[in-house]
Amino acid sequence: MSVSSIPRVARSSFGLLPDGTEVERVTLQAADGLEARIMTYGASLQALLVPDAAGRRDDIVLGHDKFAGYLARRQFFGATVGRYANRIAGARFTLDGADVQLAANNGPNALHGGLEGFDRHNWRIVAIDNGARPAVMLARTSPDGEEGYPGTLDVEVTWRLVGPMELLLDMSARTDRPTVVNLTNHSFFNLAGACSGRNILDHHLTVAADHFLAIDAGAIPLPQPPCAVAGTPFDFRAGVEIGARIRDDHPQLRVGRGYDHNFCLAPASGEPRFAARLTEPASGRVLELFTNQPGLQVYSGNFLDGSTAGKGGRLYRQSDAMCLEPHAWPDTPNRPDFPTARLTPGEVYRHTTLYRFTHAIHGAIETQSAVESPEGAGR
């Protein structure tokens, strides 16, 4: 497959909403072959083409080849999730003494923004950068009371290629009333390729976290402090094959049907820092994730059940992909002991995540030290 020798941007139609509104797709292509395709519906990462160690490009995120698949069933493939990613217990919380009732869409709880979260809206393109660091900026205004959340929220999401093999995601939000905000991207990664027919159990995962949050049957954090990962199947600090311990008889693996837990990263900061590394041995692809968020939801595709035909007509089944979702901790509005997700007028919510792709050759990763600040991030 030929690749342009210079970065470039292309804009095209990707489908129509039932009311006739056009859904667009913007393709960002780097000189070395990295290509990101951004869909306005859900401000979503619709495709991500990454070269392997031999230079062969594959799309490494699950989803659909045509827009109709995204519209037919809500599964968050590549989507921007908000206002509040993950879960809020009982679909309610108290803010400044006032009870806030949300839409319950996950049993009694609120999940990923409610019944019609940010992933179910067609965002508008407000800027395209066709320069050396190609980018697209999308925006939407979430009105006061949408899904029960207080305050009018103005949100911007920018996808940018900041290096030959680096994709930067910047999200910001402003409110006119005190509220809570927690955004993330919900891409499903399979570094062997979305159409490879292989699962992610042989991927190696590293997570820079000493603790994780234990959950109840509704995936709400238990009323206890974070659990130490040491001595458990949740210890990914030194890197381990995902499938090595996923079937261990551990109560948290049982309740989550695998990994579906928030890992507690270093406290939120202005600049992104190393959070996770995912390596696929056959292709040699390596994904390193840097973020300024305090948590990382690690989800091993436990509820993919073969009922969805995705890209290339492939049926998506359990453990066909891995989600690495940087965000605030779940149920934070009900947990004063957790890092806050509050946003007040005059403040700016900022989420920065960098996806860096490299190659592993005979177990060695061709990259700078993972603890170094990624070039271009946060600019």
Q: If pLDDT is split at 50, 70 and 90, which confidence band does 4 have?
A: low
Q: If pLDDT is split at 50, 70 and 90, which confidence band does 371 have?
A: very low
Task: Please report the pLDDT score of residue 2 as a whole number.
Answer: 52
pTM for this prediction: 0.94
DSSP 8-class letter at 84: B
**CB contact at 8 A, 265 and 292:** no
Domain ranges of the chain: 8-365
Nearest to 316 by CA among 184, 186, 198: 198
Q: What residues are annotated to the active site? A: 186, 325
At 252 the three-state DSSP class reads: helix
Cα–Cα separations (whole angstroms), residue 41 to 11, 18, 80, 120: 14, 13, 9, 7
Convert the pLDDT of each residue in 19-69 to its tens digit: 999 999 999 999 889 999 999 999 999 999 999 999 999 999 999 999 999
Does 373 have pLDDT greater than 70? no
Taking each continuous run of H as one helix and of E as one strand, the counts in the chain are: 2, 31
- The CATH code belonging to domain 8-365 is 2.70.98.10
At 308 the three-state DSSP class reads: strand
Convert the pLDDT of each residue in 169-220 to its tens digit: 999 999 999 999 999 999 999 999 999 999 999 999 999 999 999 999 999 9
Beta strands 285-291 and 240-241 are unpaired
DSSP 8-class letter at 71: H
